[in-house]
Chains A and B, each alone.
Chain A
Amino acid sequence: DAGITQSPRHKVTETGTPVTLRCHQTENHRYMYWYRQDPGHGLRLIHYSYGVKDTDKGEVSDGYSVSRSKTEDFLLTLESATSSQTSVYFCASALAEPAYEQYFGPGTRLTVT
């Protein structure tokens, strides 16, 4: 599973609180991604990173920020959690060129009450 871990695996938080999810990979992959998975929507890209301190927005980036200070870690922050951010969050990573393959972490189930 490409040595990708996520923490925490489960979290329940209250509306308005900040939340940070962590993705850690040991494969020295250059590219990392955050997706959310919701019933009826499949997986949707939130943010991605193409190197340390290099990030860009995805399809559903509103309300989320990311940081990547080290190759192996990619953090996703919800500054003020809302109920609409209740979801399963998956991190993925990929090698640099020529590989395209993205490998996923085990996911974090986040519930905002």
Chain B
Amino acid sequence: GENVEQHPSTLSVQEGDSAVIKCTYSDSASNYFPWYKQELGKRPQLIIDIRSNVGEKKDQRIAVTLNKTAKHFSLHITETQPEDSAVYFCAASTGYSGGGADGLTFGKGTHLIIQP
């Protein structure tokens, strides 16, 4: 099955600086890569995703890049703000195969701390 590794487990950056979280995956059939943000005691919230036919996607201060050859993808947050403090999870999926939509395989998460 799929295995997703996520680094670092904790990331502390100064407010206004950029943050980068990296993930690698093992299954070359994976074609969908979402990122979720989870605040303490809350549900995971989808913040951005990328599909295998795209190398980069941006949404305001966040961007995701995908390198299919190397099987890794990264989340970039620019101009970090205190409200960016949370746990971020990457995930991978083979998407729709046969009759069903496969579940997501998650990384173990990165605790992002924004220092004032």
A90 to B36, CA, bound (A): 13
Residues of B within 8 A of A106 (CB): 42-43
Could you tell me if A40 and B101 are in contact, using CB atoms closer than 8 angstroms?
no
Interface residues on A, range: 20 to 34
Query: In terms of DSSP, what is the predominant structure of the interface of chain B?
Result: strand
Closest A residue, CB atoms, query B32: A100
Interface residues on B, range: 20 to 34
Could you tell me if B106 and A102 are in contact, using CB atoms closer than 8 angstroms?
no
Distance to closest chain A CB from B10 (angstroms): 13
A58 to B104, CA, bound (A): 10
Over the window 91-113 of chain A, the binary record of Cβ atoms lying under 8 Å from chain B Cβ atoms (1 yes, 0 no) is: 00010110011111111000000
Tell me if A64 is interfacial: C-beta within 8 Å of chain B. Answer: no
Distance to closest chain A CB from B99 (angstroms): 6
